[in-house]
Amino acid sequence: MTPFQAPLDDIFHSLRSLAGDLPGWDADLSEEIARHFASLAEGVLAPLNATGDQQGCRLENGRVRMPAGFSDAFARLGEDGWQGLTAPEAFGGQDMDHLTAAALSEIFSGANHALQMVTGLVPGTVSTLLAHGTTDQQARFIPRLVAGEWLSSMALTEAGAGSDLSQIRTRARPDGESWRIDGQKIFISGGDQDISRGILHLVLARTGKPEDGVKGLSLFLCPSEIDGIRNSVSVTRIEEKLGLHASPTCQMEFDGARAELIGVEGRGLAAMFTMMNHARLDVALQGVAHAARAHAIAAAYAADRQQGRMPDGSPAALSDHPDVQRMLAEQRTLARGARGMCHLALAQIERGDCPALVEFLTPLCKIHGSEAGIRSADLGIQILGGYGYLEEYGMSQVWRDARITAIYEGANGIHALTLATRGLRLDGGAAIPAFVDLVVRLAPDDAELAGRAQQWQATALEIAQAGDARARADQFAHDSATLLSRAVLLRLDA
Amino acid sequence: MTPFQAPLDDIFHSLRSLAGDLPGWDADLSEEIARHFASLAEGVLAPLNATGDQQGCRLENGRVRMPAGFSDAFARLGEDGWQGLTAPEAFGGQDMDHLTAAALSEIFSGANHALQMVTGLVPGTVSTLLAHGTTDQQARFIPRLVAGEWLSSMALTEAGAGSDLSQIRTRARPDGESWRIDGQKIFISGGDQDISRGILHLVLARTGKPEDGVKGLSLFLCPSEIDGIRNSVSVTRIEEKLGLHASPTCQMEFDGARAELIGVEGRGLAAMFTMMNHARLDVALQGVAHAARAHAIAAAYAADRQQGRMPDGSPAALSDHPDVQRMLAEQRTLARGARGMCHLALAQIERGDCPALVEFLTPLCKIHGSEAGIRSADLGIQILGGYGYLEEYGMSQVWRDARITAIYEGANGIHALTLATRGLRLDGGAAIPAFVDLVVRLAPDDAELAGRAQQWQATALEIAQAGDARARADQFAHDSATLLSRAVLLRLDA
């Protein structure tokens, strides 16, 4: 199997081209940090990717056992300070910017998506604590997360409440100064594991009446142990999945588990969204990572493998065949275009001057990034032919791991709908001209692009006014992604 | 998991609409036979599909062990006469037509693709024996294949010879009246198993010099045992694959194995193509089967699963959401369109009046059928959301099993090239007007379709004359499939 190599040059060419004008961002320092992390990812995280997939996780006496080597790898992440990269210095973090964090997030996903699933919620949890927690909660929980002693999980989904969180039944009841949680959650990534001392579960539970829907939900901090004693939280099952075998997807039972409220009672969904917005661009970057990794494996294989003849009769490499070149080029376009879109969205978040555009770009990146990863892995399987269908060459795992990204953190169809409704309407439709402006400024001299951007604007206005977004959302999301990706590539190639 | 149900109504509506005018084909008798087989497929073959996937095959002391139940299921196939359905009555077969066989092939693949891989080469082997074997070879081998005592395998591929068979190194040398074969083959489906008494391997081996390329290849019959004594054929490894876990993909060693020549020395490739042409439409039908099966699972799930609200606030089923309806409709279009194309191609083969059109339609069906299956399964995973990513709901297996169909029996890229070169040029380009005629006659009153067919013709003539097929083949194949599928659906809905 082609060893994992972090695509540092591509990542930083993209960041410099698309976000380089961001005030205060030090590209050289950022690249230096990413280079250090890349070395850890290549040397420590990536070698566990295939073995983790083969071994998977096991549930033994109610506890999850992770594959061999994962515990040591996580210890290295903690020791070297990577878990606290974006956390404030006051809590032991390094207060690093989100562009650098995005570069690292992509590299981590490409090296070992499953391990990232288990360790990767910490920055979102820290943000949630900073935004909604009390000073006391911040002081108690952030340092241990930053130090790599604890990890965190996000416990939202229930059997009857997937995309529709209004159906959540898990209940929280006051118990003196704290709360008790009762209920079942499913699809909880890293709901248990044996690589960190403790786990801070962020649990969405009902404090109001069922008929209150999402307004009856509050967010809770539910530690796996309190003062050294295990809390009443248990894993009742781990799922057999298509991929991400080294990431335990847990069914969890909260049986009067002790917890504390974070934020305002009844405003749980808003608190949770701090965490989820964070996660959405991370998912997009997972897709980018898979797209790039699939291309790297396929390009190396196609250059090496002899197959057939050139038109002049001399022996040909697989990469000499036009149809293989077509597939390799599409993979590369997908990776670069989707990565660039994420970098644009991150820069827009940092700028903070047009929240409506951020609300439009975030689901767009989630959709296009995830689909880019899946499509590129699928092309990779096709390029490798029979070998692509074997587990041995690693391409199959890229696809299997990538496939979830179009589903979790909000299925793509729901993001398309969000983008075509809320995204187009927020702040009086401010995203529409802002998106056109974003596209055109990426390649100001390209008349064809400008024409397409005008067409897009007409369609967007039509959808915003006609209110037929439900039927047109999927096509509109894909057209939007095609347009922005095209503009991104023009800029990257300029 | 939604139990497998053979889509008999859809299959026979398609056969009647698209091949019903074929002289001598008795639609009612055909449907009656298919109904019997469907009952076996639903009751005996389908229940082993998931368990076979979970258990997989094992290599023990050089012999392949199949999953539990496969041996009994195959015994049923033999006892009930299904292995000899299309074989001549003189050899114990039922001399059934190829349209009925196609209906059964689709049903079998939908019920248990892996078992079909191991048992399904028999009709092709019988055809090869009838076309190229001596009377003595036919008499010795066909009856035991027809009776379900023996199975057959097709041993072509080698490590250095995948799409390019000119690189085959396995050698055959004369040894008295028979031959001896030495060499290694890879990717041999059913190269060994424990469900039939014996296996007749059809082996492509070199009798000429390496520099003779494909002209130095001959086809051999290499039985797994001769007069009760095992031949020197062994399985050295079975592959870990993305899917089809219950179909053993074998690496085989021929170590002076006794074999007999079939057909003319040096004409092995021609003899092999009798078998492979047969297999190509079977692969297309596997794709159809997966497309239909994925739709059936998804439609049942979406109708049952409550998720979210209708615009008026009442509870909604998943299938009430426009985006889910879009995905379900696409699945159904894929299954019906691809199935209809296969039925058209089969009818064209039976008519025998335009071989060039058959040479064009066969790769087109292989490409579109396989991609329809993969795409429909992918949509199915998306419709089921998180449950689609679990192994439990069976959708993941549909995708994993379907994925190989775009690769084996000739990768789709190679079929696209064949279609855009040989397919367009054979017999002075006879396929071009014949294809236009086929399309237009399916919906003679549709002016838009006629216009598209004219555009297609212009493109086809351009490619045939310009000789730039290598660069345009993929797009042309997909445009051709889109056009024909559209025509098919117009006829089916008429």
Mutation target vs A (from B188, B314, B323; most A CBs, 10 A cutoff): B323
| Contact across the interface for A400 and B242, Cβ inside 8 Å | yes
Q: Which residue in B has a C-alpha nearest to residue A213's C-alpha? A: B308
Shared domain check, A412 and A388:
yes
- Angle (nearest 5°) at CA A274 between A273 and A277: 70
Q: Inter-chain contact A386–B162, Cβ cutoff 8 Å?
A: yes
**Predicted confidence (pLDDT) per residue in A59-70, tens digit:** 999 899 999 999
Residue B164: what pLDDT?
82
Which stretches of B251-354 are DSSP H helices?
Answer: 268-304, 322-351
In chain B, positions 188-217, which contact chain A (CB-CB < 8 Å)?
Answer: none
* A453 part of a folded domain: yes
Is residue B2 included in any domain, yes or no?
A: no
Domain boundary among A102, A123, A145: A145
Say whether both A279 and A424 belong to one domain.
yes
pLDDT of residue A160: 83
User: Quick one: A219 and A205 in the same domain?
Assistant: yes
Task: Give A-chain residues touching B382 at CB under 8 angstroms.
Answer: 406-407, 411-413
Q: Are residues B223 and B127 in the same domain?
A: no
Q: Which of B224, B246, B266 is the last residue of a domain?
A: B266
* Per-residue pLDDT at A283 exceeds 90: yes
**B157 assigned to some structural domain:** yes
B29 — contact with chain A (CB < 8 Å)? no
ipTM: 0.96
How many angstroms away from the CA of B390 is the closest CA of chain A?
4
Determine the straight-line distance between the first and last CA of chain B, rounded to whole angstroms: 34
Q: From the CA atom positions of chain B, what is the Rg in Å?
A: 23
Residue of A nearest to B321 (CA): A470
Residue A14 sits in the same domain as residue A155: no
Measured between beta carbons, which residues in chain B are less than 8 angstroms from residue A385? 162-163, 407, 411
Q: Is the same domain home to B132 and B187?
A: no
Domain boundary among B266, B290, B324: B266
**Residues A241 and A322 reside in one and the same domain:** no
- 3-state SS string over chain A? CCCCCCCHHHHHHHHHHHHCCCCCCCHHHHHHHHHHHHHHHHHHHCHHHHHHHHHCCEEECCEEECCCCHHHHHHHHHHCCHHHCCCCHHHCCCCCCHHHHHHHHHHHHHHHHHHHHHHCCHHHHHHHHHHHCCHHHHHHHHHHHHCCCEEEEEECCECCECCCHHHCCCEEEEECCEEEEEEEEEEEECCCCCCCCEEEEEEEEECCCHHHHHHHEEEEEEECEECCEECCEEEEEECCECCCCCCCEEEEEEEEEEEEEECCCCCHHHHHHHHHHHHHHHHHHHHHHHHHHHHHHHHHHHHHCEEEECCCCCEEEHHHCHHHHHHHHHHHHHHHHHHHHHHHHHHHHHHCCCHHHHHHHHHHHHHHHHHHHHHHHHHHHHHHCHHHHEHHHCHHHHHHHHHHHHCCCCCHHHHHHHHHCHHHHHHHHCHHHHHHHHHHHHCCCCHHHHHHHHHHHHHHHHHHHHCCHHHHHHHHHHHHHHHHHHHHHHHHHC
Domain that residue B197 falls in? 151-266
Q: Report the residue from B164, B308, B470 with minimal CB separation from A164.
A: B308
For residue B242, give the nearest of A308, A391, A471 by CB distance. Answer: A391
Output the domain CATH number for residue A351. Answer: 1.20.140.10
Choose from B251, B407, B475 for mutation: most chain A CBs within 10 A. B407
Looking only at the bridges linking them, the beta strands covering B217-223 and B249-262 are antiparallel
Interchain contact, B381 vs A407, CB within 8 Å: yes
For chain A, the domain total comes to 3
Residue B475 is assigned to a structural domain of this protein: yes
Residue A469 and residue A321 share a domain: yes
Looking at residue B141, which CATH number applies to its domain? 1.10.540.10
pLDDT band at A153 (very low <50, low <70, confident <90, very high): very high
User: A-B interface: how many C-beta pairs under 8 angstroms?
Assistant: 121
Contact A14, A336 (CB under 8 A): yes
Domain co-membership, A209 together with A280: no
Task: Give yes or no: residues B25 and B122 share one domain.
Answer: yes
Same domain, B247 and B366: no
CB nearest A385 (choices: B388, B411, B474): B411
Residue of B nearest to A320 (CA): B470
Per-residue pLDDT, averaged over B344-373, amounts to: 96
**Beta pairing partners, B200:** B152, B223
3-class SS of residue B217: strand
**The token pair that represents A221 in the structure block:** 């901090």
Does residue A273 register a pLDDT over 90? no
Query: Contact A389/B403, CB-based, under 8 Å?
Result: yes
Q: Quick check: is A381 in a domain? A: yes
> Which pLDDT score is estimated for A147?
97
pLDDT digits (tens, 9 = 90+) for B273-291: 877 777 899 999 999 999 9
pLDDT tier at B10 (50, 70, 90 boundaries)?
A: very high
B114 in a structural domain: yes
| A361 and A483 both lie in a single domain | yes
pLDDT at A143: 97
- What local confidence, expressed as pLDDT, does residue A210 receive? 84
CB contact under 8 A, A391 and B240: yes
Question: What's the rounded mean pLDDT across residues A341-366?
Answer: 95
Q: Could A407 and B187 be called an inter-chain contact, meaning their C-beta atoms sit closer than 8 Å?
A: no
Tell me whether residue A2 is in a domain: no
Q: Which residues of B are catalytic?
A: 409
pLDDT digits (tens, 9 = 90+) for A413-456: 999 999 999 999 999 999 999 999 999 999 999 999 999 999 99
Q: What is the CATH number of the domain that holds B254?
A: 2.40.110.20
Flag whether A3 is in a domain.
no
Model confidence at A312: pLDDT above 90: no
pLDDT tens sequence across A98-113: 999 999 999 999 999 9
The pLDDT of residue B371 is: 98
Which residues have CB under 8 Å from B342's CB, separation 6+?
Answer: B102, B281, B284, B285, B288, B365, B369
CB nearest A308 (choices: B163, B321, B471): B163
CA–chain centroid gap for A12, Å, is 19
Q: What is the pLDDT of residues A216-267, one digit of tens each?
A: 999 999 999 999 999 999 999 999 999 999 999 999 999 999 999 999 999 9
